[in-house]
Amino acid sequence: MTTREEWIAGARPKTLPAAIAPVLVGTAFAGYNANAVNFFLALVVGVALQVGVNYANDYSDGVKGTDKDRVGPMRLVGSGAATPEAVKRAALIAIAIAVVAGVSLAARSSWILIALGALSIIAAWTYTGGPKPYGYFALGEVSVFIFFGLVATLGTYFAHVGSLSFEVLLASFAMGCLACAILVLNNLRDLEKDKLAGKITLAVKIGHSQTRRLYQALLFTPLLIAIALVPTSFYFLLAFLALPQILKVTASIRTGASGSALIELLERTGKIQIIYSIAISLASLLYAR
């Protein structure tokens, strides 16, 4: 019988900053027009979808045999800790929670969000599921940038104020880059196993060296975006609070960190996204005073 700890590990909690950060940023940029209930509902949508994606990925990769002998977080199906049917059911429950919260949020703000939610769910399930999963064709990073960057950040902001702004668009690019960094690092860790299993991720396609360079670029680009926001307010320089951590993890990547060492870097990358998102959220709120 699968334990609670195994289910929690299988949900891959270290990836949750990718779901939490854009909701936080989108809400902060809404300033004093933000609504607490809308924030909560958007947060539930983001977290539930992320957990749903993780379980769906575990199920799909597990039944394909891609997850055999992996280094990294718990694979429920691949390790035999849970049956494929149980993991698929858990993914559907998480997605159902996201649907209920999303419909509630749309009812309070705009039904446009229903369309965005439907696209997000389709993207979540077909990442590694279905006859032609796009995660097997080097498109995972594109999807993450769109849905955990643009859609999550702009959608949250729109739910609060009913419009968009150039500043929050820039912030959504930063969120997309940081979310992609988590996936790139994950795929770097799994590169050789994915190659053997026939899973053509972007890391497999471009190789170790270019993947490491891409990861570094994805971490430094949000700092450039913060500089681009400085004409709006000098407070956005608070984003550089994340720089010490960025320098540490990129140094480890440059010196060849691999295997289990990348698991720690994955957690630290999530922390970088949280630090950055809190910093620019605070900057936005200070500017709005």
pLDDT in tens, 53-91: 999 989 988 887 776 666 667 789 988 889 999 999 999
**Domains of the chain by residue range:** 4-288
Supply the DSSP string of 96-134, one letter for each residue. Answer: HHHHHHHHHHHHHS-THHHHHHHHHHHHHHHTT-SSS-G
Report yes or no: 54 and 11 within 8 Å, Cβ to Cβ. yes
* pLDDT at res. 62: 83
* pLDDT at res. 71: 60
* pLDDT at res. 289: 64
The rounded distance, in Å, linking the Cα atoms of 150 and 129 is 23
pLDDT in tens, 249-288: 999 999 999 888 898 999 999 999 999 999 999 999 998 7
**Low-confidence winner among 126-140, 146-160, 206-220 (lowest mean pLDDT):** 126-140
Across the chain, what does the average pLDDT equal?
92
pLDDT in tens, 3-46: 989 999 989 888 898 999 999 999 999 998 999 999 999 999 99
pLDDT in tens, 105-118: 999 999 999 999 99
* pLDDT at res. 129: 80
Q: Is the pTM of this model over 0.75?
A: yes
Work out the average pLDDT over 141-161: 96
Instruction: Report the CATH architecture of 4-288.
Output: Orthogonal Bundle (1.10)
Band of pLDDT at residue 2, cut at 50, 70 and 90: confident
Supply the DSSP string of 16-68, one letter for each residue. Answer: THHHHHHHHHHHHHHGGG--HHHHHHHHHHHHHHHHHHHHHHHHHHHHHTTTT
pLDDT of 119 > 90? The answer is: yes
Band of pLDDT at residue 197, cut at 50, 70 and 90: confident
Closest CA to 159 of 114, 100, 98, 122: 114
* pLDDT at res. 69: 60
What single DSSP character describes residue 74?
Answer: -
| Neighbour tally for 162: CB within 10 Å | 12
Between residues 199 and 30, the one the model is more confident about: 30
